[in-house]
Chain A
Amino acid sequence: MTDSTPIFQARAIEKAFPGVMALSGVDMTLHSGSIHALLGENGAGKSTLIKVITGVHAPTAGTLLLDGEQVSFANPRDAIVQGIGVVHQERNLFPRFSIAENIHLEQLAGGLIKPIDYKELNENARPWLRALDLDIDPATPVSELSVARMQLVEIAKALSLQSRVLLLDEPTASLTSSETDRLFTILRRLRDSGTSLVFVSHKLEEVQEICDRVTVLRDGANACDSQPMQGVGRQDLVRMMIGRAEGTASWRASDTSTHPEVLGLSDVSTTLGHKGINLSVRKGEVVGLYGLVGAGRTELAKAIMGKFALTGGTVAINGAPVTIPNVAAAIHDHGLGYISEDRKNEGLILQHSVLSNVGVPIWRKLAGRFGTLFDRDIRKAALPYLQKLEVKTPSLSQTVANLSGGNQQKISVAKWLAAGVQFLIVDEPSVGIDIKTKAYLHELLRDLADQGTAILVISSDMPEMIALADRIAVMDDYRIMGEIANTGKYDEIAPAIMALIHDSVAPAA
């Protein structure tokens, strides 16, 4: 099927933004009945290429061919009309509108005042929902759906536009593994019915599972162009993405069993529904907290930080039982720090400078007698940590929003180092970070631990967990299901973790 004539081709696409060459001569060829992987690190040009193909950006040079004929799109609508659909990474639905209206809004864009026939709209939406195994009334408001179902509605929307080419940008980023499996079943079915799919993901395991061809971008150029997936291994993909092989075996055994306990939870329950949580993190230790999305890990972290109230059990810090009334007390009195998975909304103040982001937790400490603060003092306190983490920024007054994801993550770590925390919770450290930065970040966290910080890493990325943690606690449905001493061997640990989760899932299902 893969040797059919190409349905869509991008040839020598160039896209220049003021001061940056985002794409320089990129090629991609799509066939119908195929799932095509588009890979690359953050900033490699994937998003820009998608935007060029879907009419959001006009290319500076190069041609787009649809069925062998040259096309150009003035706006997203043009591309949609020609059968190019896209499901963006962020949700693009209107929560208060019904499913049917969300699916068909595009078709309404033709006329402004022709009255809408909702009955017809609902009827028209039904087949698309059925095609995706969505058994919901099309008149249901989208706000009542789960995230996974919202995603399927977006796919239904793209399909209803007779999309022959469908681009999916990180469709699995917010799905659980069973939802991902269901999505893949649907994608395979679409492929078999002739749609040409483009699949963008950071998760190479998924890409290898479902894609038959691959295009890799690096620094705005092709590292490989529409090559069959057969015979391409994970290491080959990584090498093409980062230009060298993946740094492996960052895990190293460290014996911390004799170290004093920094944080101890015994039989803790919370208002959010955690029950009987026992967890201990020693000085210099990296403890992993593994679980699927929705297992209650982030919530536990926030409860430890004093954001949510405990209803039972005790929290001990350095062996002494404490109560933490709020986040300020957790930071200033107990030396706890929390790096949020939601860097953009919870972790950093994007509009502010590097200096003031790192300075936030230490302002109180540095303030003079009359509450005065001087940049000089903050700089003195913050600079060593920024240098240690090799944050790449033109100056300390640079706005954080202008830095790369990796550098932003380093700044959120530096912030807590400057605050001098003894215990650090890192929530999904590598979300939105490319492979090169990820390896570096892992090294950084290990170094921190070796220097005496106690670290709790929350992640649903199993390879990450196994590369990083000394011990792995597994959480499911707001309970700790068990704890595994990590050996760094993926083949041993991964099944053990899954067993802990599935033993608890099986009776419920």
Chain B
Amino acid sequence: MTQISRLSRTDWFGPLLATIIAIVVIRAFSANFLSSFNIQILLLAIAVNALVAYSQMIIIAIGQMNLSVGAIGGLAAISFVGMIEVWGIPAPLAVILALAIGVGCGVINGVLIRITGISAFVITLATLSIFKGINLGITEAQPFYGVPDSVKAFGSALVFGPIPWLVVPTVLVAVGLWFMLSRMPVGRFILAVGSNEHAAGLSGISVGATVIIAHGISGLLAAIAGVLVVARLQIGQPSIGDDWLILSFAAPVIGGAILAGGHVSVSATFLGVVIVAIITQALVLFNIDPFLVQVVLGALILAAVGLNKLRARAPIGQGT
């Protein structure tokens, strides 16, 4: 009994249970659900969406939010293809430059937040518009088609079975993030700043540097997601990233993240992404209007926030 109650306190237990139930139920209604092809589609969606969610999660960890996640991902994506098409530079170099652009955008967010002392909400709302505007200025809202064959090949290649190569960067990022947040000082500082910024400062942690690093990481992850989308779509769409915002919050929140900061879970956020992907997939399989996905996402966020609140009450009751 105590075993179960301890399990139920972990962030990943609830989402894992929900994932398993969802898989079993959907499989019962649709034999196609666990077909090799379907699993591949699911994994492709999860690979990108997990990076988007992590990009937001790292900012949630410091108790802020980043509305410009999609705009950064989109700018990195079109820069990536644009540099190859217009300047003819090799793809690996273009990847590095695109990721550098992502880091740069994130650092700009972080520096602006620290210098001005204005809330991250307002700053990233402004930079969302700026980054998106630069994107549209460069592309004039027309896609870049010059995606090289090597990139296209990477986007559709399989490691083995139904597992696409696209999931490899995501898995590496997830493991790296987990290690950073649980075992590396910089990750602990990010959580400490999110938990109590004032106390973190008094403990000798440089709050400014920590915030800027977190935003830099956020930008990097958004850029990786953008590049992966290009490899998957095989086209440099200016609209990449436009629909990332809600998902970026949904997955960490389903994974038990506290929006006030100081607590996030890499594994549970991943499960959050999986749940969203499965439900989206199910709506397609059952021929349900895809616009309902938005409604379902919203409902999931509400349910997750409600559950987190209930959970927070039980174990860490300080009493008043």
Contact = CB atoms under 8 A, between A and B. Distances in A.
Interface string A50-73: 000000100000000000000000
B185 interface: yes
Interface in A112-141: 112-116
A101 interface: yes
Interface string A192-226: 00000000000000000000000000000000000
A76 B203 CA distance: 8
A116 B195 CA distance: 19
B205 interface: yes
Interface string B115-133: 0000000000000000000
A76 B204 contact: yes
Interface residues of A, number: 29
A249 interface: no
Interface string B290-320: 0000000000000000000000000010100
Contacts of A56: 202
B199 A94 contact: yes
B183 A115 contact: yes
Contacts of B183: 115-116
A1 B203 CA distance: 32
Contact of B202 (A92, A112, A116): A92
Contacts of A90: 198
A113 B196 CA distance: 21
A92 B199 contact: yes
A148 B160 CA distance: 57
B201 A96 contact: no
Contact of A76 (B180, B202, B262): B202
Interface stretch (B21-29, B72-80, B186-194): B186-194
Interface string B153-197: 000000000000000000000000001100111101101100110
A143 interface: yes
A93 interface: yes
Given A108-B185, A116-B183, A116-B185, A96 B191 contact: yes
B215 interface: no
Given A76-B202, A95-B316, A143-B316, A105 B192 contact: yes
B263 A96 contact: yes
B185 A94 contact: no
A88 interface: yes
B204 A97 contact: no
User: A interface, by DSSP: helix, strand, loop or mixed?
Assistant: loop
A300 to B, nearest CB: 14
A77 interface: yes
Interface in B210-226: 213
Nearest to A143: B316
Contact of A114 (B184, B199, B205, B316): B184
A112 B184 contact: yes
A87 to B, nearest CB: 10
Interface residues of B, number: 26
Contacts of B205: 105, 109
Contact of A94 (B201, B213, B262): B262
A434 interface: no
Contact of A115 (B184, B189, B191, B200): B184
A77 to B, nearest CB: 4
B203 A109 contact: yes
A116 B184 contact: yes
B72 to A, nearest CB: 23
A461 to B, nearest CB: 21
B316 A94 contact: no
A92 B205 CA distance: 13
Nearest to B192: A94
Contacts of B196: 92-94
A368 interface: no
Contacts of B206: 109
A97 B318 contact: no
17 contacts: A56-B202, A76-B202, A77-B204, A94-B191, A94-B200, A95-B262, A97-B195, A105-B192, A106-B204, A108-B185, A108-B189, A109-B189, A109-B203, A109-B205, A112-B213, A115-B184, A143-B318
Given A76-B201, A113-B185, 14 more contacts: A56-B202, A75-B204, A76-B203, A92-B196, A92-B203, A93-B196, A95-B262, A97-B192, A105-B203, A109-B204, A109-B205, A110-B185, A112-B185, A143-B316
Interface of B: 179-180, 183-186, 188-189, 191-192, 195-196, 198-206, 213, 262-263, 316, 318
**Ordered nearest first, which 6 A-B pairs have the shortest CB separation?**
A92-B199, A77-B204, A112-B186, A108-B185, A94-B195, A109-B204
